[in-house]
Chains A and B, each alone.
Chain A
């Protein structure tokens, strides 16, 4: 108990999370009189999971896309196609950000790369400043539920470590995320139409620009089709789709479009692999701590305790939502995943919650955590990027918070929305 308190204190003081998780594994095995070499053996299991290959490859592809002019082309194309609608530009922003985040894995890149293009454009179109700031901040984590986002893959990896009656496949997670993600997009789009500028000038449908924009983005358009079609069509597994994506993006942006000079590649590789390293080391030590938890039957004991207080699924889900919201404010999505999922997944399964559904509940809550005051990461990134006080961003993103909170509740209490496509 004292040990746990010390660990939490150290974590709050800024100790790297891998050391916190690693020490809990060392401590647990030490108390169980198990040779601590087991920690190294568990870490070596990283070399035993074929799907992990997708993590460095997709991350690299996302970084390359972010460094190229692809974000600009994406905005241009969605604008040409949807800009004529009322609230069109705002909806364009939402869709472009969601697509971009799915590829780059909500690490704040979206706000920096796309926000710089969209914020001035929205302002120019006459949207209120506060609305624009809220929209961009929210969009930074929108798209987390769409394939091939990193958190979706990582949830699948972690869930597979916890043996369950219902196996969790990453293909299923990719499918399950589609409708809940669409729900979030639809609700935010409705809010955008409601907030359209009063002197909205009807933008004419410009077929010429439409064609030109599509032609301009012709190389990037096949990407989502390549990935999703390849996986759902059964042609490739997730890690192979990642390899194809990496090769494709590399060839297009470096050799065909020539937007990234070869000499920049080492830097892009270093930056993207730094993120991958930070995630992999946490995953590695958490394999050890998870193994200990399962060995010590912590989740099943916890379940017995909880069940004496909470007797139905719905009360459990309410408490789960509250817990995850607070967690999302404190921890980043990757650490939260590897620490919490091994514990709550068996408990949730005990209440009859489908593991894929739990994954979407978890990720949707975490998405909200990115911009929940006072400590959501994206609030600070946006504050820094647009040079606005954080207080203003709190106010600006509040309506968006309530809209997505509603979406999270729908996702939580309507399991079929997530499970419809996989059953």
Chain B
């Protein structure tokens, strides 16, 4: 678990960002519960409802999913196979982490890059999603989310290399 400690000491947690992420999760989830339940009550008791609630709820799933994924990356809780890594020595583990995190960072970065241009295109077209909200604004979470995930993994790569050089000597 030495790698864990080092990961934290090198990549100093940007506390404000973490707070914002946690706050977003709470805010989105509670609004989802409130809106979804409210819509059921409106529909069944008052026989009415707001048409913007359903598409908003669906977008919120995307948002909470990607923000949740950011936090999962931060807490090392992304789903992965750990059959082999269980058997590795700390040094081998650090090396395999550098390789796999570098890979994850590149894939996330590529997705973020193409998603960014997708959002720019959408911005140019000026489509509205619902209730006059521009579509690009709702889609922007994809490049943002994958971008931060990429940076986070890159950060782990750097601290992994640092640990290999420094930690190995001492």
Contact = CB atoms under 8 A, between A and B. Distances in A.
B96 A41 contact: no
B26 A266 contact: yes
Contacts of A250: 33
B83 A12 contact: yes
B107 A26 contact: yes
Contact of A12 (B32, B84, B110): B84
Interface stretch (B3-11, B64-72, B160-168): B64-72
Interface in A1-58: 10-19, 22-23, 26, 35-37, 39-41, 43-44, 46-50, 52-53, 55-57
Given A250-B33, A277-B72, A46 B65 contact: yes
B155 interface: no
Query: Chain A binding site: helix, strand, loop or mixed by DSSP?
Result: helix
Interface string A246-281: 110010000000000000011001100111111111
A274 B71 CA distance: 6
Given A14-B97, A56-B29, A246-B33, A280 B61 contact: yes
A239 interface: yes
A23 B110 CA distance: 9
A17 B36 contact: no
B33 A247 contact: yes
B47 interface: no
B84 A278 contact: no
A273 B81 contact: no
Contacts of A52: 58, 61
B127 interface: no
A279 B78 CA distance: 9
A53 B26 CA distance: 15
Interface stretch (A130-138, A296-304, A331-339, A362-370): A331-339
B32 A53 contact: yes
Given A47-B61, A277-B65, A15 B72 contact: no
A257 B2 CA distance: 42
Given A40-B111, A284-B65, A11 B81 contact: yes
A13 B69 contact: no
B79 A18 contact: yes
Nearest to A56: B64
B100 A13 contact: yes
A22 B85 CA distance: 22
B58 A40 contact: no
Query: Chain B binding site: helix, strand, loop or mixed by DSSP?
Result: helix
A46 B115 contact: no
B37 A269 contact: no
Interface residues of A, number: 64
A40 B114 contact: yes
A243 B33 CA distance: 6
Contacts of A13: 84-85, 96, 99-100
Nearest to A36: B114
Contacts of A44: 62, 139, 142
B122 to A, nearest CB: 9
A125 interface: no
Contact of B117 (A37, A48, A50, A53): A37
Interface in A161-184: none
A99 B105 CA distance: 39
A49 B117 CA distance: 24
Given A16-B79, A270-B22, A280-B62, 19 more contacts: A13-B96, A14-B96, A14-B97, A15-B80, A19-B108, A22-B108, A37-B114, A37-B117, A40-B143, A43-B62, A46-B62, A47-B55, A50-B58, A246-B36, A270-B26, A273-B25, A275-B72, A282-B79, A283-B65
21 contacts: A15-B104, A16-B79, A18-B78, A50-B54, A50-B57, A52-B58, A53-B57, A269-B25, A270-B22, A273-B25, A273-B71, A274-B77, A275-B72, A277-B70, A277-B72, A278-B72, A279-B65, A280-B61, A280-B68, A281-B72, A330-B81
Interface of B: 22, 25-26, 29-30, 32-33, 36-37, 40, 54-55, 57-59, 61-62, 64-73, 75, 77-85, 96-97, 99-101, 103-104, 107-108, 110-111, 114-115, 117-119, 121, 138-139, 142-143
